[in-house]
Structure 1
């Protein structure tokens, strides 16, 4: 009988290293970096997850990493004040804001310091590239990370050249080698489609990023590529795997891609823990239909005992406090 496959599977090269719960992971880049980092954090991995918010273009990603390592402060020429008197910075996401320029400068500097300190101890840096399109700030002639809805005539939209991106990444990779010699780098291209660039030009953009990743992973032994983009457009070649906007992967697609990542890169012991933790999370999410019954109290005490056993290896203090709070709500407890 003929074996029938309903999708083209993306082959993943088995790495000679694995992630476990002692691995320190930093993510940076597009919103998919935040999705992957969030999934890892949900399973109790040690993650500093896209702490400065979404960064779409590769040159700004390199600029942020360089600023962190070299202890550079945000460029003072790129601060701006909105009509609502909120201060933003063109190199950073709008989630980074303050009521004054000095306050924002201090906030961004603290975040860069946090990245620098984490990078010094990190085992894995995950970089997700969103688009090869970027905007040049006319006044300063600098490529910036975010236009913040400023009038478009103050920027020039550019398709970054392969060499521009590659040179920037090689410079930061060379700088990171002596900074943290155990650091591995994983590159991935975001499966999120940038349809505002048009679908044909989105493909030009993604292919540019993919070529950069290929060259870098060929040149540096400690640089790997995870094919999240290819899994989305080949294995999941169906609009049912997109959200309603037809741009972002659905939650099912995100979970599918994460499962592929976990099978290939996460240590067997940690995978076993993830399965157990998924059961614990489901129990934590349970809400009783009939109030403070003896059966529900018994379930909470059993859950606390499971968490207590896990606490020898993983920080579950927050979850234990929540269970203790729920137990304390019972009469006489």
Structure 2
């Protein structure tokens, strides 16, 4: 008897390696994936402009960065003494419009450089529902708690999502011909839209991904959405809000990602690094002891053998060794 509908993800001939670089942008799952990739020492840029649910919001940021388009000055606004921009998440703020403009431009320059060097761009699509500011008439990434009367709520079509992607794709390939794009649909349900509208939204996003993968040879799809809703089809795999995946579900989905896209050397490094991470988090009963000093000395040696940049971890362990050595009077 089976209690879950497990399914196989088609193997990918393209893999991430130890030296690969990733850029991850989009909905909440892009942040989850980015944090786990970062924790596994995969270099890259993750969620530089905060959570962006709409495909059009993602495309706009990429166009700003790649086409060197100036940030739209008409989309700055002040709220509660802080300045925001309609093209970014509300976590991107500054004390003045000028300061925010400088911050955004700096992040855009860094994003452009990260895309030139990246092997993989992950775009997580969150919602096909989009909000259009009435004046000026522009789709926005975030309404920033402004009155509903100044926006129209639109449902993007599969055609629009695919057509606008084509423009961004051309810009990406112009600066980095070898870049691969991985699309995912966020498994997080937008309960505020209502369950019926959420279902319509996700179906549009999934259909758009299907056509984009069919039309572009170097565009791929990872089934994060299907893994949560079909494989892990149980509320025990959700957080307490019953909308976001639980940590257990996040780990499971990331393991599937590893199995699909990590090459053999990266998979082996991941196993080794997990042991290192456990050792780094180990807290002994007696901090200032010869036994713990020996443990840390071995850990430092193991870190020095790692084939990636572990400078912060080495510095932390070295400091702990020095502190215990002084306490023991060595």
Q: Same fold (TM over 0.5)?
A: yes
Q: CA deviation at 1:11?
A: 2.2
Partner of 1:200 in structure 2? 196
Indicate if the aligned counterparts of 2:17 and 2:262 stay in contact, CA closer than 8 A: yes
Q: CA deviation at 1:163?
A: 1.3
Of 86, 89, 93, 1:93 maps to 89
Structure 1 residue matching 2:123: 3-state secondary structure: strand
Q: How far apart, CA to CA, are the structure 1 residues paired with 2:223 and 2:287?
A: 47
Deviations 1:245-288 (A, max 9, x none): 00100000000000001001101111111011111111111112
RMSD: 1.0
Q: CA deviation at 1:206?
A: 0.3
Task: Out of 249-258 and 174-183, give the one that drifted further.
Answer: 174-183
Structure 2 residue matching 1:297: 3-state secondary structure: helix
Partner of 2:35 in structure 1? 38
Unaligned runs of 5+ residues in structure 1 are none
Indicate if the aligned counterparts of 2:21 and 2:119 stay in contact, CA closer than 8 A: yes
Structure 2 residue matching 1:134: 3-state secondary structure: strand
Structure 2 residue matching 1:264: 3-state secondary structure: helix
Alignment of 1:103-122 (within 5 A): 103-122=99-118
Q: How far apart, CA to CA, are the structure 2 residues paired with 1:77 and 1:178?
A: 29
Q: How far apart, CA to CA, are the structure 2 residues paired with 1:291 and 1:320?
A: 18
Partner of 1:10 in structure 2? 7
Aligned length: 327
Unaligned runs of 5+ residues in structure 2 are none
Partner of 1:50 in structure 2? 47
Structure 1 residue matching 2:305: 3-state secondary structure: helix
Deviations 1:270-317 (A, max 9, x none): 11110111111111111122231111111111100100111xx21001
Structure 1 residue matching 2:181: 3-state secondary structure: strand
Q: How far apart, CA to CA, are the structure 2 residues paired with 1:159 and 1:195?
A: 16
Partner of 1:239 in structure 2? 235
Q: CA deviation at 1:122?
A: 1.1
Partner of 1:318 in structure 2? 312
Q: How far apart, CA to CA, are the structure 2 residues paired with 1:158 and 1:70?
A: 26
2:135 is the alignment partner of 1:139: yes
Q: CA deviation at 1:6?
A: 2.5
TM-score relative to the length of structure 1: 0.96
Q: How far apart, CA to CA, are the structure 2 residues paired with 1:324 and 1:104?
A: 38
Deviations 1:119-170 (A, max 9, x none): 1111100000000011111111110001111111111111111111111111
Alignment of 1:170-189 (within 5 A): 170-189=166-185
Structure 1 residue runs of 4+, over 6 Å off? none
Partner of 1:77 in structure 2? 74
Q: CA deviation at 1:328?
A: 1.4
